[in-house]
Amino acid sequence: MERFDPEAQGTLLKKTYALLKENKTPPHIMFAETGLPFFWIKDMKAKKSNDPSVNRVQYLYEYLLEKQLEV
């Protein structure tokens, strides 16, 4: 099994990073609308989150796309 690469193509994390880059909503608004921790959102926008929780990433992904993730 290969080592986990958060920048690998096709991952939920990679797609969420791309959506965050495109999204111009300030972190404090995302925090207010999602309830996700403010500094976690800031770290995600800056790609500084070393090992983000899949549940948080999925929730943020769904928020940014305004639809539920289909798996």
3-class secondary structure per residue, 17-35: HHHHHHCCCCHHHHHHHHC
Q: Does residue 46 sit within a domain?
A: yes
Please give the residue range of the domain that contains residue 43: 12-65
What is the tens place of the pLDDT at every residue in 8-52? Answer: 667 888 899 999 999 999 999 999 999 999 999 999 999 898 778
Residue 70's pLDDT is: 83
In the predicted structure, residue 7 carries a pLDDT above the cut 70:
no
If one counts the domains in the chain, the total is 1
Residue 50's pLDDT is: 74
In the predicted structure, residue 4 carries a pLDDT above the cut 60:
no
Q: Does residue 4 sit within a domain?
A: no
User: For residues 40 and 28, is the Cβ–Cβ distance under 8 A?
Assistant: no
Q: Does residue 31 sit within a domain?
A: yes
- Can you give the pTM of this predicted structure? 0.78
Residue 18's pLDDT is: 92
Q: What whole-number distance in Å separates Cα of residue 8 and Cα of residue 68?
A: 22
